[in-house]
Structure 1
């Protein structure tokens, strides 16, 4: 059926980080985002398998899969309390400083039109913050998947 599919709006994507300091399962939405980039080939590694019998054509096998997610936007605070957005604050103050076996944290994301979350166990690199005289302060983070992705049903 021609014309029955339509592109989706980028602003419909939802990103959440799991708060591992909470007693119950708690997912914190990450507010203030204005752009994202999902790279499904980040950290991919291949092994060349070209041999004489390849007749001059290159051959390879994928040996490792990876992925990354870059999220960027505006540093957000609560006007009343001055506290940073909980999702951004968790990434900046709880997850970002961790190293070694403690450096992983779950994150999930989906488009509002989708019924399943993409769930990653991941590491994070907090991004730069800045801005000019007539600009809002920026905020960003780069998240790299660690291990295989999974999915979860959207509930509630």
Structure 2
């Protein structure tokens, strides 16, 4: 079977609410997953390294930046539920309350979600005269990733 690239638009992103429900984060048009974010290393080079650099990874991190359009229901004006939870609940948390779970997978990955305990920074919103309003956030993994079965 030939290998083929997967479509970026096939990625699914969800945020968990305080009521343990998962909400789709809608209207995403671009994302960046950085598996090396917040990585820390310790140099281990010594005289016996023969002039070659050596290191150990001491800390692993990762981030997920989501960007898209600020979306609202045309009848009620209610913001996209996933975006609204991020903006109205998660973005207000401090300390332990700044943590939330997110999960993501590609639509072709039909058995497992990747799940993160994470913190989040809301992104800039804006737009020009002939634009749709933008929406974004950056999610940073806290601790080791886990998985969850797709149901």
* Both proteins in one fold, TM over 0.5: yes
Q: Which residue of the partner structure matches residue 135 of structure 2?
A: 139
Q: Where do 4+ consecutive residues of structure 1 move more than 6 Å?
A: none
Q: Which residue of the partner structure matches residue 48 of structure 1?
A: 43
Q: Which residue of the partner structure matches residue 119 of structure 2?
A: 123
2:13 to 8, 15, 39: 15
Residue 39 of structure 1 deviates from its aligned partner by 0.2
Q: Under a length normalisation based on structure 2, what TM-score does the superposition of the two structures give? A: 0.98
Residue 41 of structure 1 deviates from its aligned partner by 0.3
- What value does the CA root-mean-square deviation take over the aligned residues? 0.7
Unmatched segments (≥5 aa) in structure 2: none
2:32 to 37, 42, 46: 37
Q: Which residue of the partner structure matches residue 55 of structure 2?
A: 60
Unmatched segments (≥5 aa) in structure 1: none
Distance 1:125 1:97 in 2: 10
Structure 1 residue 153 and structure 2 residue 149: aligned? yes
Distance 1:153 1:57 in 2: 44
Deviations 1:51-104 (A, max 9, x none): 000000000000000000000000000111000001000000100110111110
Question: How many residues are treated as equivalent by the alignment?
Answer: 150
Query: What is the SS of the residue equivalent to 1:96?
Result: helix
Distance 1:119 1:101 in 2: 18
Distance 1:154 1:59 in 2: 41
Query: What is the SS of the residue equivalent to 2:130?
Result: coil
Q: Under a length normalisation based on structure 1, what TM-score does the superposition of the two structures give? A: 0.95
